[in-house]
Structure 1
Amino acid sequence: DPVTDEGCYPMVPWAGRIGAGHVAWRGDTYVLPVAGDGNALHGLGKDTTWEHVGGGAFRVALGRPWPVEGEATVVYEPRDHGLRITLTWHSDTNDDDLGCSVGIHPWFRRSLTRGGTLQETLSPITMVERGTDGLPTGKLVPPGPQPWDDCFTLGSPPVLEWPGALRLTLTSGADWWVVYSGPRDALCVEPQTAPPDVFVHPDLHPRGPWPREIVLDLAAEMLE
Protein backbone atom coordinates (compact mmCIF):
# COMPACT_ATOMS: atom_id res chain seq x y z
CA ASP A 1 0.00 0.00 0.00
CA PRO A 2 1.76 3.19 -1.13
CA VAL A 3 -0.10 5.22 1.52
CA THR A 4 1.37 3.25 4.43
CA ASP A 5 4.65 2.05 2.91
CA GLU A 6 6.50 5.35 2.56
CA GLY A 7 6.75 8.92 3.80
CA CYS A 8 5.90 10.13 7.30
CA TYR A 9 2.22 10.15 8.15
CA PRO A 10 0.07 10.83 11.24
CA MET A 11 -1.76 7.94 12.90
CA VAL A 12 -5.07 9.14 14.38
CA PRO A 13 -7.47 8.45 16.11
CA TRP A 14 -5.66 5.17 16.70
CA ALA A 15 -2.08 4.07 16.10
CA GLY A 16 -1.04 0.60 14.99
CA ARG A 17 -3.45 -2.30 14.57
CA ILE A 18 -6.93 -2.94 15.92
CA GLY A 19 -7.80 -6.62 15.80
CA ALA A 20 -10.34 -7.44 13.04
CA GLY A 21 -11.19 -3.73 12.88
CA HIS A 22 -13.75 -4.03 15.69
CA VAL A 23 -14.15 -1.42 18.46
CA ALA A 24 -16.75 -1.89 21.19
CA TRP A 25 -18.14 1.19 22.94
CA ARG A 26 -21.22 1.72 25.09
CA GLY A 27 -22.93 -1.44 23.93
CA ASP A 28 -22.25 -1.05 20.21
CA THR A 29 -19.58 -2.53 17.96
CA TYR A 30 -18.03 -0.28 15.33
CA VAL A 31 -16.43 -1.83 12.25
CA LEU A 32 -13.36 -0.08 10.84
CA PRO A 33 -11.80 -0.56 7.40
CA VAL A 34 -9.19 -3.32 7.44
CA ALA A 35 -5.89 -3.88 5.65
CA GLY A 36 -4.69 -7.03 3.92
CA ASP A 37 -4.03 -8.80 7.22
CA GLY A 38 -7.66 -8.36 8.29
CA ASN A 39 -6.93 -5.72 10.95
CA ALA A 40 -7.59 -1.97 11.04
CA LEU A 41 -4.29 -0.20 10.49
CA HIS A 42 -2.86 3.18 11.54
CA GLY A 43 -6.01 5.25 11.87
CA LEU A 44 -8.18 7.22 9.46
CA GLY A 45 -6.01 10.29 8.97
CA LYS A 46 -3.66 8.63 6.51
CA ASP A 47 -6.50 8.11 4.01
CA THR A 48 -7.93 11.62 4.22
CA THR A 49 -7.16 14.98 2.61
CA TRP A 50 -5.99 17.48 5.22
CA GLU A 51 -6.73 21.21 5.06
CA HIS A 52 -3.74 23.56 5.10
CA VAL A 53 -4.46 26.22 7.74
CA GLY A 54 -1.27 28.26 7.49
CA GLY A 55 2.46 27.79 7.91
CA GLY A 56 3.22 24.16 8.60
CA ALA A 57 -0.22 23.43 10.12
CA PHE A 58 -2.91 21.12 8.76
CA ARG A 59 -6.21 19.84 10.13
CA VAL A 60 -8.88 17.29 9.29
CA ALA A 61 -12.31 16.37 10.67
CA LEU A 62 -12.71 12.65 11.34
CA GLY A 63 -15.71 10.60 12.40
CA ARG A 64 -17.52 7.47 11.28
CA PRO A 65 -16.67 4.68 11.19
CA TRP A 66 -14.83 5.78 14.37
CA PRO A 67 -17.33 5.93 17.26
CA VAL A 68 -16.92 9.67 17.91
CA GLU A 69 -16.32 12.72 15.77
CA GLY A 70 -13.29 14.89 16.30
CA GLU A 71 -10.59 17.00 14.72
CA ALA A 72 -6.93 16.20 14.21
CA THR A 73 -4.22 18.80 13.71
CA VAL A 74 -0.61 18.30 12.71
CA VAL A 75 2.04 21.00 12.76
CA TYR A 76 5.47 20.75 11.10
CA GLU A 77 7.98 23.21 12.57
CA PRO A 78 11.47 23.50 11.06
CA ARG A 79 14.12 23.88 13.77
CA ASP A 80 17.83 24.58 13.65
CA HIS A 81 19.19 21.30 12.27
CA GLY A 82 15.91 19.50 12.61
CA LEU A 83 12.13 19.27 12.55
CA ARG A 84 9.36 19.11 15.18
CA ILE A 85 6.10 17.32 14.39
CA THR A 86 3.11 17.82 16.72
CA LEU A 87 -0.06 15.74 16.27
CA THR A 88 -3.21 16.41 18.31
CA TRP A 89 -6.65 14.80 18.49
CA HIS A 90 -9.65 16.63 19.97
CA SER A 91 -13.26 15.52 20.37
CA ASP A 92 -16.14 17.37 22.00
CA THR A 93 -17.60 13.99 23.00
CA ASN A 94 -16.69 12.67 26.45
CA ASP A 95 -14.91 9.55 25.20
CA ASP A 96 -12.54 8.78 28.07
CA ASP A 97 -14.24 5.38 28.38
CA LEU A 98 -13.38 4.73 24.71
CA GLY A 99 -9.91 6.22 24.52
CA CYS A 100 -7.72 7.09 21.59
CA SER A 101 -4.11 6.77 20.54
CA VAL A 102 -2.03 8.92 18.25
CA GLY A 103 1.35 8.33 16.65
CA ILE A 104 3.76 9.36 13.93
CA HIS A 105 4.96 6.83 11.35
CA PRO A 106 8.19 7.84 9.56
CA TRP A 107 9.94 5.59 7.05
CA PHE A 108 13.74 5.90 6.85
CA ARG A 109 15.75 4.71 3.86
CA ARG A 110 18.55 2.30 4.73
CA SER A 111 20.74 3.81 2.00
CA LEU A 112 21.10 7.47 1.02
CA THR A 113 22.81 8.94 -2.02
CA ARG A 114 26.05 9.08 -0.04
CA GLY A 115 27.49 7.54 3.10
CA GLY A 116 27.13 4.08 4.54
CA THR A 117 24.12 1.90 5.25
CA LEU A 118 21.81 2.87 8.11
CA GLN A 119 22.91 1.82 11.59
CA GLU A 120 20.29 2.14 14.33
CA THR A 121 21.01 2.52 18.04
CA LEU A 122 17.98 1.46 20.07
CA SER A 123 17.63 0.69 23.78
CA PRO A 124 14.56 -1.54 24.20
CA ILE A 125 13.63 -2.28 27.81
CA THR A 126 10.37 -4.18 27.42
CA MET A 127 8.42 -5.47 24.43
CA VAL A 128 4.68 -5.96 24.00
CA GLU A 129 4.23 -9.68 23.34
CA ARG A 130 2.53 -10.63 20.08
CA GLY A 131 0.48 -13.76 19.57
CA THR A 132 0.48 -16.02 16.53
CA ASP A 133 -2.08 -13.66 14.96
CA GLY A 134 0.45 -10.81 15.15
CA LEU A 135 -1.65 -8.89 17.68
CA PRO A 136 -0.60 -7.96 21.22
CA THR A 137 -1.45 -10.43 23.97
CA GLY A 138 -1.48 -7.73 26.65
CA LYS A 139 1.75 -8.96 28.26
CA LEU A 140 5.11 -7.21 28.52
CA VAL A 141 8.13 -9.44 27.88
CA PRO A 142 11.90 -9.05 27.40
CA PRO A 143 12.83 -7.82 23.90
CA GLY A 144 13.27 -10.59 21.35
CA PRO A 145 15.65 -10.74 18.38
CA GLN A 146 15.19 -8.83 15.12
CA PRO A 147 13.53 -8.55 12.66
CA TRP A 148 10.92 -6.60 14.59
CA ASP A 149 7.40 -5.44 13.95
CA ASP A 150 6.92 -4.80 17.64
CA CYS A 151 6.13 -2.21 20.29
CA PHE A 152 8.69 -1.32 22.96
CA THR A 153 9.48 0.92 25.85
CA LEU A 154 12.93 2.44 25.32
CA GLY A 155 15.62 3.55 27.73
CA SER A 156 16.94 6.40 25.58
CA PRO A 157 16.07 8.24 22.35
CA PRO A 158 16.62 6.27 19.13
CA VAL A 159 19.63 7.30 17.05
CA LEU A 160 19.83 6.57 13.32
CA GLU A 161 23.18 7.00 11.60
CA TRP A 162 24.29 6.77 8.00
CA PRO A 163 28.11 6.73 8.45
CA GLY A 164 29.79 9.55 6.60
CA ALA A 165 26.48 11.28 5.86
CA LEU A 166 23.93 11.91 8.61
CA ARG A 167 22.95 11.21 12.21
CA LEU A 168 19.33 11.61 13.34
CA THR A 169 18.23 11.61 16.97
CA LEU A 170 14.51 11.03 17.57
CA THR A 171 13.02 12.45 20.77
CA SER A 172 9.44 12.16 22.00
CA GLY A 173 7.58 12.18 25.28
CA ALA A 174 5.65 9.11 24.10
CA ASP A 175 5.96 6.02 26.29
CA TRP A 176 5.77 3.57 23.39
CA TRP A 177 7.75 3.03 20.18
CA VAL A 178 6.99 0.62 17.36
CA VAL A 179 10.02 -0.57 15.40
CA TYR A 180 9.50 -2.22 12.02
CA SER A 181 12.83 -3.57 10.79
CA GLY A 182 11.67 -6.22 8.33
CA PRO A 183 12.02 -4.37 5.00
CA ARG A 184 15.40 -4.65 3.28
CA ASP A 185 15.44 -1.03 2.13
CA ALA A 186 13.75 0.82 4.99
CA LEU A 187 13.29 1.08 8.75
CA CYS A 188 10.33 2.49 10.69
CA VAL A 189 10.69 3.96 14.19
CA GLU A 190 7.28 5.18 15.37
CA PRO A 191 6.41 6.95 18.63
CA GLN A 192 2.89 6.24 19.88
CA THR A 193 0.85 7.29 22.91
CA ALA A 194 -0.35 3.70 23.41
CA PRO A 195 0.49 0.21 22.09
CA PRO A 196 -1.39 -1.35 19.17
CA ASP A 197 -4.81 -2.84 19.99
CA VAL A 198 -4.74 -1.11 23.38
CA PHE A 199 -8.54 -0.85 23.42
CA VAL A 200 -8.81 -4.54 24.31
CA HIS A 201 -5.81 -4.42 26.65
CA PRO A 202 -6.54 -1.46 28.94
CA ASP A 203 -3.96 -2.66 31.48
CA LEU A 204 -1.28 -1.44 29.04
CA HIS A 205 -2.63 2.10 29.45
CA PRO A 206 -2.08 3.86 32.80
CA ARG A 207 -5.13 5.04 34.70
CA GLY A 208 -6.19 8.58 33.95
CA PRO A 209 -6.84 10.66 30.84
CA TRP A 210 -5.71 9.28 27.51
CA PRO A 211 -2.90 11.33 25.92
CA ARG A 212 -4.25 13.18 22.89
CA GLU A 213 -1.06 14.81 21.66
CA ILE A 214 2.32 13.55 20.55
CA VAL A 215 5.47 15.47 19.68
CA LEU A 216 8.38 14.06 17.68
CA ASP A 217 11.64 15.99 17.40
CA LEU A 218 14.13 14.95 14.73
CA ALA A 219 17.58 16.47 15.31
CA ALA A 220 20.02 16.12 12.41
CA GLU A 221 23.81 16.20 12.47
CA MET A 222 25.74 16.14 9.21
CA LEU A 223 28.71 13.76 9.17
CA GLU A 224 31.84 13.90 7.06
Structure 2
Amino acid sequence: MNSSQESVRLAAGDVELTVHPENGCRIASLRVGGTELLRQGDRYGAFPMVPWCGRTREGRFRNGGIVHRLPLNAPPHAIHGTGRDTAWHTAVAGAAEAAFTYDLTEPWPYKGKVTQTFALTEDSLTVALGVETAETSFPAQAGWHPWFLRNIGGEDVRIAFTPEWQEERGDDHLPTGRRIAPEPGPWDDCFGMPAGVEVTLTWPEQLELTVASRTPWVVVYDEQDEAVCVEPQSGPPDGLNTRPQLVTLVDPLEISTTWTWRRLDAGADTAI
Protein backbone atom coordinates (compact mmCIF):
# COMPACT_ATOMS: atom_id res chain seq x y z
CA MET A 1 0.00 0.00 0.00
CA ASN A 2 1.19 3.46 -0.90
CA SER A 3 -0.65 6.54 0.37
CA SER A 4 -0.25 10.29 0.20
CA GLN A 5 -2.53 13.26 0.51
CA GLU A 6 -3.42 12.79 -3.15
CA SER A 7 -3.79 9.01 -3.48
CA VAL A 8 -4.14 5.67 -1.73
CA ARG A 9 -2.99 2.59 -3.64
CA LEU A 10 -4.16 -0.93 -2.79
CA ALA A 11 -2.78 -4.13 -4.29
CA ALA A 12 -3.61 -7.84 -4.41
CA GLY A 13 -1.38 -9.99 -6.60
CA ASP A 14 -1.04 -8.17 -9.91
CA VAL A 15 -4.20 -6.10 -9.35
CA GLU A 16 -3.78 -2.44 -8.37
CA LEU A 17 -6.43 0.03 -7.24
CA THR A 18 -5.77 3.76 -6.79
CA VAL A 19 -8.19 5.99 -4.86
CA HIS A 20 -8.03 9.79 -4.83
CA PRO A 21 -9.66 10.93 -1.56
CA GLU A 22 -8.97 14.58 -2.36
CA ASN A 23 -10.90 14.30 -5.62
CA GLY A 24 -14.24 12.97 -4.45
CA CYS A 25 -12.85 9.67 -3.13
CA ARG A 26 -13.06 8.31 -6.65
CA ILE A 27 -11.28 5.26 -7.97
CA ALA A 28 -8.73 6.84 -10.26
CA SER A 29 -7.36 3.56 -11.60
CA LEU A 30 -8.06 -0.17 -11.60
CA ARG A 31 -5.35 -2.22 -13.29
CA VAL A 32 -5.61 -5.98 -13.73
CA GLY A 33 -2.38 -7.57 -14.86
CA GLY A 34 -1.16 -4.16 -16.00
CA THR A 35 -4.30 -3.43 -18.05
CA GLU A 36 -6.25 -0.29 -17.11
CA LEU A 37 -10.02 -0.80 -16.96
CA LEU A 38 -11.21 2.76 -16.22
CA ARG A 39 -11.23 5.91 -18.29
CA GLN A 40 -8.54 8.26 -17.02
CA GLY A 41 -9.00 11.91 -16.02
CA ASP A 42 -10.05 13.98 -13.02
CA ARG A 43 -13.75 13.68 -13.93
CA TYR A 44 -13.70 9.96 -14.68
CA GLY A 45 -12.46 6.78 -13.00
CA ALA A 46 -15.33 5.67 -10.74
CA PHE A 47 -16.90 8.12 -8.32
CA PRO A 48 -19.48 7.78 -5.54
CA MET A 49 -22.89 9.38 -6.04
CA VAL A 50 -24.07 10.58 -2.61
CA PRO A 51 -26.30 11.85 -1.00
CA TRP A 52 -28.29 11.57 -4.24
CA CYS A 53 -27.85 9.75 -7.56
CA GLY A 54 -28.30 11.03 -11.08
CA ARG A 55 -30.51 14.07 -11.61
CA THR A 56 -32.77 15.64 -9.00
CA ARG A 57 -35.55 17.52 -10.81
CA GLU A 58 -34.88 21.27 -10.83
CA GLY A 59 -32.66 20.77 -7.77
CA ARG A 60 -35.68 20.48 -5.49
CA PHE A 61 -36.61 17.81 -2.97
CA ARG A 62 -38.98 17.63 -0.04
CA ASN A 63 -38.46 16.35 3.50
CA GLY A 64 -41.88 16.35 5.09
CA GLY A 65 -43.26 19.84 4.68
CA ILE A 66 -39.91 21.44 3.91
CA VAL A 67 -38.78 21.99 0.31
CA HIS A 68 -35.02 22.24 -0.25
CA ARG A 69 -33.16 23.62 -3.26
CA LEU A 70 -29.82 22.26 -4.48
CA PRO A 71 -27.37 24.01 -6.85
CA LEU A 72 -28.21 23.34 -10.50
CA ASN A 73 -24.89 21.86 -11.61
CA ALA A 74 -26.56 20.24 -14.66
CA PRO A 75 -29.23 22.85 -15.48
CA PRO A 76 -32.12 22.57 -15.06
CA HIS A 77 -31.27 19.80 -12.58
CA ALA A 78 -28.86 18.96 -9.76
CA ILE A 79 -26.76 15.89 -10.58
CA HIS A 80 -24.75 13.12 -8.87
CA GLY A 81 -24.56 14.45 -5.29
CA THR A 82 -21.86 16.36 -3.41
CA GLY A 83 -19.47 13.51 -2.58
CA ARG A 84 -17.66 13.57 -5.91
CA ASP A 85 -16.77 17.26 -5.42
CA THR A 86 -15.55 16.87 -1.82
CA ALA A 87 -12.20 16.08 -0.22
CA TRP A 88 -12.60 12.94 1.92
CA HIS A 89 -10.63 11.94 5.02
CA THR A 90 -8.57 8.74 4.92
CA ALA A 91 -9.65 6.78 8.00
CA VAL A 92 -7.87 3.47 7.27
CA ALA A 93 -5.40 2.51 4.55
CA GLY A 94 -4.02 -1.02 4.56
CA ALA A 95 -2.44 -3.24 1.94
CA ALA A 96 -5.71 -4.25 0.28
CA GLU A 97 -8.42 -2.46 2.29
CA ALA A 98 -9.21 1.19 2.99
CA ALA A 99 -11.93 3.40 4.47
CA PHE A 100 -12.72 7.07 3.91
CA THR A 101 -15.22 9.55 5.36
CA TYR A 102 -16.58 13.04 4.85
CA ASP A 103 -19.06 15.18 6.75
CA LEU A 104 -22.19 16.30 4.98
CA THR A 105 -22.36 20.08 4.78
CA GLU A 106 -23.69 22.85 2.51
CA PRO A 107 -25.13 22.77 -0.06
CA TRP A 108 -26.67 19.61 1.45
CA PRO A 109 -29.08 20.92 4.12
CA TYR A 110 -28.56 18.22 6.76
CA LYS A 111 -25.65 17.24 8.96
CA GLY A 112 -24.35 13.72 8.71
CA LYS A 113 -21.44 11.49 7.77
CA VAL A 114 -20.64 9.40 4.70
CA THR A 115 -18.28 6.41 4.79
CA GLN A 116 -16.85 4.56 1.80
CA THR A 117 -14.84 1.34 2.13
CA PHE A 118 -12.82 -0.70 -0.36
CA ALA A 119 -11.74 -4.36 -0.17
CA LEU A 120 -9.55 -5.70 -2.99
CA THR A 121 -8.63 -9.30 -3.87
CA GLU A 122 -6.94 -10.81 -6.91
CA ASP A 123 -10.30 -11.32 -8.63
CA SER A 124 -12.74 -8.89 -7.00
CA LEU A 125 -13.37 -5.46 -5.56
CA THR A 126 -16.08 -4.75 -3.00
CA VAL A 127 -17.05 -1.13 -2.34
CA ALA A 128 -19.59 0.00 0.28
CA LEU A 129 -21.20 3.33 1.11
CA GLY A 130 -22.92 4.32 4.34
CA VAL A 131 -24.86 7.52 5.04
CA GLU A 132 -25.61 8.52 8.65
CA THR A 133 -27.43 11.49 10.09
CA ALA A 134 -26.07 13.56 12.96
CA GLU A 135 -29.49 14.78 14.11
CA THR A 136 -32.47 15.17 11.74
CA SER A 137 -33.84 12.43 9.52
CA PHE A 138 -33.55 13.07 5.77
CA PRO A 139 -34.05 11.31 2.44
CA ALA A 140 -30.90 10.20 0.62
CA GLN A 141 -29.50 8.02 -2.14
CA ALA A 142 -26.12 6.42 -2.77
CA GLY A 143 -24.42 4.61 -5.62
CA TRP A 144 -21.45 4.60 -7.99
CA HIS A 145 -20.65 5.98 -11.44
CA PRO A 146 -17.79 3.96 -12.97
CA TRP A 147 -16.40 4.83 -16.40
CA PHE A 148 -15.22 1.50 -17.85
CA LEU A 149 -13.10 1.79 -20.95
CA ARG A 150 -14.96 0.70 -24.06
CA ASN A 151 -11.81 -0.88 -25.47
CA ILE A 152 -8.85 -2.35 -23.58
CA GLY A 153 -7.34 -4.02 -26.66
CA GLY A 154 -9.05 -5.96 -29.43
CA GLU A 155 -12.83 -5.72 -29.74
CA ASP A 156 -15.09 -3.26 -27.92
CA VAL A 157 -16.77 -4.29 -24.68
CA ARG A 158 -20.10 -6.13 -24.76
CA ILE A 159 -22.76 -5.44 -22.10
CA ALA A 160 -25.05 -8.26 -20.95
CA PHE A 161 -27.87 -8.02 -18.40
CA THR A 162 -31.50 -9.06 -18.01
CA PRO A 163 -33.56 -6.31 -16.34
CA GLU A 164 -37.22 -6.85 -15.50
CA TRP A 165 -38.16 -3.37 -16.65
CA GLN A 166 -36.83 -0.07 -17.94
CA GLU A 167 -37.84 3.29 -16.53
CA GLU A 168 -39.33 5.31 -19.39
CA ARG A 169 -37.10 8.37 -19.88
CA GLY A 170 -38.65 11.74 -20.56
CA ASP A 171 -37.20 14.55 -22.66
CA ASP A 172 -35.67 15.97 -19.45
CA HIS A 173 -33.68 12.70 -18.96
CA LEU A 174 -35.72 11.82 -15.86
CA PRO A 175 -38.04 8.83 -15.44
CA THR A 176 -41.65 9.58 -16.28
CA GLY A 177 -42.91 7.12 -13.67
CA ARG A 178 -43.93 4.58 -16.31
CA ARG A 179 -42.19 1.22 -16.54
CA ILE A 180 -41.67 -0.24 -20.00
CA ALA A 181 -40.17 -3.39 -21.50
CA PRO A 182 -36.36 -3.09 -21.78
CA GLU A 183 -35.31 -1.58 -25.09
CA PRO A 184 -32.05 -2.05 -27.03
CA GLY A 185 -29.29 0.52 -26.58
CA PRO A 186 -27.63 2.88 -26.82
CA TRP A 187 -28.70 3.74 -23.28
CA ASP A 188 -28.75 6.52 -20.78
CA ASP A 189 -31.44 4.74 -18.82
CA CYS A 190 -32.44 3.28 -15.48
CA PHE A 191 -33.43 -0.38 -15.21
CA GLY A 192 -35.10 -2.47 -12.52
CA MET A 193 -33.53 -5.75 -11.38
CA PRO A 194 -35.56 -6.84 -8.32
CA ALA A 195 -33.35 -9.84 -7.57
CA GLY A 196 -30.30 -7.57 -7.49
CA VAL A 197 -28.09 -5.91 -10.06
CA GLU A 198 -25.97 -8.21 -12.21
CA VAL A 199 -24.40 -6.75 -15.34
CA THR A 200 -21.54 -8.43 -17.19
CA LEU A 201 -18.98 -6.56 -19.29
CA THR A 202 -16.95 -8.71 -21.69
CA TRP A 203 -13.91 -7.48 -23.56
CA PRO A 204 -13.51 -10.41 -25.99
CA GLU A 205 -10.30 -12.40 -25.54
CA GLN A 206 -9.30 -10.01 -22.74
CA LEU A 207 -11.44 -9.89 -19.61
CA GLU A 208 -14.93 -10.50 -18.24
CA LEU A 209 -16.14 -8.31 -15.36
CA THR A 210 -19.46 -8.53 -13.52
CA VAL A 211 -20.96 -5.63 -11.55
CA ALA A 212 -23.26 -6.96 -8.83
CA SER A 213 -25.25 -5.39 -6.00
CA ARG A 214 -28.24 -6.30 -3.86
CA THR A 215 -29.92 -3.04 -4.87
CA PRO A 216 -32.62 -3.38 -7.56
CA TRP A 217 -31.64 -0.24 -9.51
CA VAL A 218 -28.98 0.28 -12.16
CA VAL A 219 -28.33 3.00 -14.71
CA VAL A 220 -26.51 1.97 -17.89
CA TYR A 221 -24.89 4.65 -20.04
CA ASP A 222 -23.08 3.76 -23.27
CA GLU A 223 -23.48 6.84 -25.48
CA GLN A 224 -19.78 7.81 -25.39
CA ASP A 225 -17.11 6.45 -27.70
CA GLU A 226 -14.51 6.17 -24.94
CA ALA A 227 -16.33 4.47 -22.09
CA VAL A 228 -19.46 2.75 -20.77
CA CYS A 229 -21.03 3.17 -17.33
CA VAL A 230 -22.84 0.62 -15.15
CA GLU A 231 -24.18 2.42 -12.08
CA PRO A 232 -25.78 0.47 -9.21
CA GLN A 233 -27.69 2.87 -6.99
CA SER A 234 -30.20 2.80 -4.14
CA GLY A 235 -32.98 4.36 -6.21
CA PRO A 236 -33.75 5.74 -9.65
CA PRO A 237 -32.85 9.22 -10.88
CA ASP A 238 -34.91 11.85 -9.01
CA GLY A 239 -35.35 9.25 -6.30
CA LEU A 240 -35.18 11.88 -3.54
CA ASN A 241 -38.64 12.83 -4.75
CA THR A 242 -40.09 9.61 -6.16
CA ARG A 243 -38.63 6.82 -3.98
CA PRO A 244 -37.05 8.51 -0.93
CA GLN A 245 -35.13 6.35 1.52
CA LEU A 246 -35.15 7.99 4.93
CA VAL A 247 -31.89 8.10 6.88
CA THR A 248 -32.60 8.15 10.63
CA LEU A 249 -30.50 7.96 13.79
CA VAL A 250 -31.18 4.21 14.01
CA ASP A 251 -31.39 3.38 10.30
CA PRO A 252 -28.52 4.56 8.08
CA LEU A 253 -28.49 4.12 4.31
CA GLU A 254 -26.13 1.29 3.34
CA ILE A 255 -25.31 -0.05 -0.10
CA SER A 256 -22.48 -2.14 -1.57
CA THR A 257 -21.31 -3.38 -4.93
CA THR A 258 -18.88 -6.11 -5.92
CA TRP A 259 -16.97 -6.27 -9.17
CA THR A 260 -15.58 -9.69 -10.04
CA TRP A 261 -13.42 -10.48 -13.04
CA ARG A 262 -11.72 -13.29 -14.87
CA ARG A 263 -9.15 -13.12 -17.61
CA LEU A 264 -9.91 -14.74 -20.95
CA ASP A 265 -7.65 -16.74 -23.22
CA ALA A 266 -7.10 -15.28 -26.67
CA GLY A 267 -9.50 -17.04 -29.00
CA ALA A 268 -11.65 -18.62 -26.29
CA ASP A 269 -13.90 -17.38 -23.46
CA THR A 270 -12.22 -19.47 -20.78
CA ALA A 271 -10.47 -18.38 -17.65
CA ILE A 272 -6.70 -18.41 -17.57
Give 1:207 shift.
Answer: 10
1: CA distance, partners of 2:87 / 2:117 = 15
Moved more, 12-21 or 22-31: 22-31
Aligned to 2:103: 61
Whole-Å separation in 2 of the counterparts to 1:76 and 1:121:
25
For the residues of structure 1 that align with 2:118 and 2:215, how far apart are their CA atoms? 17
CA distance in 2, matches of 1:187, 1:176: 17
For 1:99, what is the secondary structure of its paired residue? strand
Residue type at the aligned position of 1:184: D
Can you list the C-alpha shifts for 1:10-48, whole angstroms capped at 9, x where unaligned?
Answer: 111111110111122344332212233421111000000
Partner of 1:105: 145
- In our comparison, the structure showing a higher alpha carbon Rg is 2
Counterpart among 137, 146, 153 of residue 185 in structure 2? 146
**Aligned counterparts of 1:117 and 1:146: Cα–Cα separation in 2:** 15
Letter paired with 2:170: G
Q: Which runs of 5+ in 2 are unaligned?
A: 1-40, 266-272
Contact 2:58 2:77 (8 Å CA) reproduced: yes
Is 1:78 the equivalent of 2:120? yes
- Aligned residue among 218, 232, 239 for 1:198: 239
Residue 3 and residue 25 in structure 1: after superposition, are their counterparts in 2 closer, same or farther (change >3 A)?
farther
| Residue in structure 2 matching 1:7, options 45, 49, 63 | 45
Pick the aligned partner of 1:127 from 163, 166, 172.
Answer: 166
Corresponding residue of 1:33: 71
- SS class of match (2:84): helix
2:62 corresponding residue in structure 1 = 24
Q: What is the rounded CA distance, in whole Å, between the counterparts of 1:69 and 1:83 in structure 2?
A: 30
Whichever residue aligns with residue 43 of structure 1, its letter is: G
Alignment CA distance shift 1:26-1:67 (3 Å): farther
The runs of 5 or more residues in structure 1 that have no matched partner are: none
Which of 160, 165, 182 is matched with 2:201 structurally? 160
Report the more deviating stretch, 102-111 or 75-84: 75-84
Letter in 2 for 1:152: F
Aligned-pair identity in percent equals 35
Write out per-residue CA displacement over residues 175-201 of structure 1, whole angstroms, 9 at most, x where no aligned residue: 100001111121000000111102332
Separation (CA, whole Å) in 1 of partners of 2:134 and 2:245: 22
Q: Cα 1:206–1:141, aligned 2, differ >3 Å: closer, same or farther?
A: farther
How many residue pairs get matched? Answer: 217
Deviation at 1:3? 5.3
Q: TM-score, normalised by structure 1?
A: 0.88
- Counterpart check, 1:183 vs 2:183: no
